[in-house]
Amino acid sequence: MANKTITFDPDAGVPRGVNLTIHTGADFVTNFTVLNTSSSAFSFSGYTASATMSKSVAVGATLGITTSFAVGFTSAIGGKFKISLGSTSTRSLKEGRYVYDILVSSGSTVYNIVNGNILVIAGVSTAPT
């Protein structure tokens, strides 16, 4: 499980770049702690969130080939949330590079808070039976 701490400035309009790695067939979880520009916890009270990944921006947008993460606020007031995929979902991913983004919204305002690349790695061998 990865833990990432980022600073978010809603006035900047620029997402934070964070690259991730997923191993096929394994549970995937990344926890994010978000700070404001004063280095205090960014409050997500009243916010909703979504996160998706696709093989590329063009492919995902054109063909609708995306994978959605489960997103949960583990402490909305403390600026903490996590994204996750279960082993069944990661097992169906093809090896390679993907792009992803995490959107948070409050009312009609939507922020692209994090985006980056995801490297999906398939196992070389299998566990003995």
DSSP string, the chain: -EEEEEE--TTT--PEE--EEEETTS-EEEEEEEE-TTSSBPP-TT-EEEEEEES-HHHHHHH--EEEPEEEEEETTTTEEEEEE-HHHHHTPPSEEEEEEEEEEETTEEEEEEEEEEEEE--SS----
Mean pLDDT of the chain: 90
pLDDT of residue 55: 85
pLDDT of residue 81: 97
pLDDT of residue 58: 61
pLDDT of residue 63: 58
Q: Is residue 101 scored above 70 in pLDDT?
A: yes
pLDDT of residue 128: 57
pLDDT of residue 68: 94
| Domains in the chain with CATH codes | 2-121 (2.60.40.3350)
Residues 6+ apart with CB under 8 A from 39: 7
Using one digit for the tens of pLDDT, what is the confidence trace for 20-79? 999 999 999 999 999 999 999 999 999 999 999 998 766 555 555 689 999 999 999 999
How far is Cα 52 from Cα 69, in angstroms, rounded to an integer?
Answer: 6
Confirm whether pTM is higher than 0.85: yes
Portion of the chain with pLDDT greater than 70, in percent: 87
Least confident of 2-6, 45-49, 59-63, 96-100: 59-63
Q: Is residue 122 scored above 80 in pLDDT?
A: yes
